[in-house]
Chain A
């Protein structure tokens, strides 16, 4: 990597780090971060493929309440840098698969870093309190921006350090990896997406919505249905279900009786 690439990588890393906490523009999502790092290092296609693979794993990672999820920002940025370094001599598939496997431990490291930043932010808001006392708008704004910058630096520093590691070290490490290890990691990578989906399911599942999961599962086996088509089916099902549920409520209220139409019919016999 030349100096300009390294500088751009660090900028991308800084943005990813800020977004890791802000969660607005989504620069920290693998699909965006890996693509950007691929672009600035001259390997756009590989970056996009890595981003797509990691995105599938990270779909269910979200910060809910005060709980912190595995960190997508460090995972995407660092694994993309490692992949770019590995592309020099190792073949593309190996480089991408190894990067995917490394992303998981990296996401844990990122998690600890973000918890650290969230702790450092406590004294920062106390400085904001002090600034508020004097109606010092500039002071409040400065501490807010510094706190965001801190989260950016959280990813930018590890990214810069990774850039300094010579490419030969990464490639020789990749080449030294036996086939069973890289193959096994690819197999594992195929399975880990299940964890993210399970996190989403646990968040939303009620006995009422499980049938929709089953419907989605069997319909997806029809290869002709694109994800957009499946989305249309899903939206329609949701609208139909909610509409019918409303109707059932109104019917039960207006019809009086036992509120059980089938039971009423049976009783009439």
Chain B
């Protein structure tokens, strides 16, 4: 076998764009094109600068939800976690910049504890993930209300600068969204942990039989998700000058929607973090587009539902296996003979 052929096999496997990513990218391009043609205000600099930080927050939340869904769960505690993080980083410092760092650390601490509780309830006591996170969500709200009484304070200047100052013309918050997406994608796709994480999600029994410590991977999904929600909450705490106490409410169902749109199956297994993040941008731009068209909220919501339905339908039918079957019949060959 020649070395040239060997490289060919690798190449074909290197450049890989998932179906979810392709769908979402095409959808996004079409959406921006339609926006530019039909509602030019929705792609104006002001509109985009207003929308992108929130897209970044939704993207980061979506990354967390992706990890949980990869393990076959669903995390409804998004609302409480994001809200609590917002409240801790605004209420704690009370406009005093020097108290910001302890508050941020406290927010992360709370996130890790929440993640451990969720993980324990779901992976150890085998509680259904919907029930468990419904419960922890209410408790998180309780804690959040206990801290803030329902009205968090103005954000600190330092946090505001931290998220809103610009590099290369874009506010930090957007860069955070991009960087976190890249980090999560690289961890999930290029490290031993990430690859095994995916394997456990795809089939926990097989993973155990192959000698993997299944419980740890499942637990890590819930902890990592909470850390990501916390980052999103901190960003929101800086982007919005006077956030409400219920900032996380708007993120629960959209976070599930972006995961599904990105092509990650609700049955678990392979995850598409980057596609989830881009779906977040898609949803926010869709919102912006229909908003600047001046159509009512009802139509906006219907459009989102419709795009979700089309998105899922594309994945629910297993096109690739049908294609694979056709390919196998016509082009079946051994790897060795292919390279000979």
Partners in one complex: no
